[in-house]
Amino acid sequence: MSKLNKREAFPFTRNQPLLSPSEHRTVPSQDDVIAFYRTHERVGWSLSEFIDIPWSELQVEKLTPADVHVVETTMLVESNNPDYVANLIEYFQADQDVCDFIMMWGIEEWKHYYALRNYLTKVRTALTMKDLGSTARGAEIEASVHHALADDVEAVREASSENWGLPMHYLPAQVVANTTVQEFVTAEFYLNHALHTQEPVLAKLEMLLAKDETRHEMFYEHKTKDCLDADPDIMPLVVESLKEFGMPGAYLVDDYGERRKAMEQAAFPTLADKKAEFVRLFSKMTRIIGHDNTMQVFTEGNYLSDGVDDASVKKMRPEMITRLLTRRLG
């Protein structure tokens, strides 16, 4: 049973009126859907090939407890895919193109869940076969793997039905703007962790996942831009929704705060890595909503506390952001 006590908050948009389902439409474009499918076919990877990699190919000696923590947490968040798909389909029921995309997207996210889960089972087998479970590090890894594979997926699904869902009061542009950021952050995370882990099979898997997440992010970014081009007056509402952006994990996993810190450390170990990543996120958002609006999102919003209005978490100051950006440019 999940102990998660976080609930939907939406501090900046909570007073928005609900739209009727027929108003939940983006700008139609079948071409975007076909373009996504084409890349899905062209650059798609084989889950079967990944499953067929024998456990003996894993270099578990090179795996750290932090690596396993990363796989476990990402697997849990990716496991929530059926609920996420159901939410999106319900929200976008009047938008055929987006629903068509969601069907393909759902398959890809399921692959992520299943591949990560399969990786954990290989780790467990490798630890047993190589008799590493008796070492302190091996025991820590084994306990983590065992827990993740045993009960946690069920607990996440339970948490998702209670704590989380797509904000039904959002405009379509707010939904796709938030999913763009979510996919971008996920892609960056996988890519950077792949570059830091010493275990080659995990690195290979994370590179594949990062490529998929990047394609997802591109689709949603396109949709966001189309919506904003068609109706520039909704920009302030999009900014408000981005101010309360939080990763879905925060609503799904009990100890997400701790997990988030550990994951950030594993993928962005140095202060320079963390700063560079912030600059990348800032640039990505600038491409969609412009520099001044992005500044507003980060200085007024709850980016650092995953969407929640947490007074103990200081907001970012504009001077600090400018310093980060110009230092990078310089």
* Binding residues vs Fe ion (CB under 5 A): 109, 112, 183, 213, 216
Backbone conformation region of residue 2, classed left if phi is above 0, alpha if psi is from -120 to 50, else beta: beta
Minimal distance in Å, beta carbon 141 to Fe ion?
23
Of 83 and 213, nearer to Fe ion (C-beta) is 213
* Residue (37 or 328) nearer to Fe ion, CB: 37
Q: How many CA atoms lie within 13 A of 30 on its CB side?
A: 0
Q: Closest separation between CB of residue 67 and Fe ion, Å? A: 18
**Contact call for residues 174 and 237 (beta carbons, < 8 A):** yes
Q: Which of 3, 6, 1 is nearest to 251 (CA)?
A: 6
Picking from 287, 318, 174, 161, the residue whose alpha carbon sits closest to that of residue 240 is 174
Instruction: In angstroms, give the least distance from the CB of 180 to Fe ion.
Output: 11
Nearer to Fe ion among residue 60 and residue 193 (C-beta): 193
Radius of gyration from C-alpha coordinates of the chain: 20
Residue whose CB is less far from Fe ion, 71 or 295? 71
CA-wise closest residue to 256 among 8, 11, 1, 72: 72
Smaller CB separation from Fe ion, 67 or 212: 212
Q: How far is the CB of 222 from Fe ion (least distance, A)?
A: 15
The smaller minimum CB distance to Fe ion, of residues 184 and 278, is found at: 184
CA 293 and chain centroid, separation? 22
Q: Shortest Cβ distance from residue 84 to Fe ion (Å)?
A: 10
Q: How many residues does the chain have?
A: 330
Q: Which tokens go with 136?
A: 């302190």
Report the alpha-carbon distance of residue 77 to residue 113 in Å, rounded.
8
**At its nearest, how many Å lie between Fe ion and the CB of residue 107?**
11
Cβ-Cβ contacts under 8 Å for 233 (sequence gap 6 or more)? none
Contact 303, 239 (CB under 8 A): no
268, 273, 304, 298: which is closest to 286 by C-alpha? 298
Q: At closest approach, how far in Å is the CB of 238 from Fe ion?
A: 20
Which CB sits closer to Fe ion, 132 or 210? 210
CB of 46 to Fe ion, least distance (A): 17
Look up tokens 């963390």; give the residue. 274
Through-space distance between the first and last CA atoms of the chain, rounded to whole angstroms: 51
User: Residue 216 or residue 222: which is nearer to Fe ion going by CB?
Assistant: 216
| Helix, coil or strand: residue 85 | helix
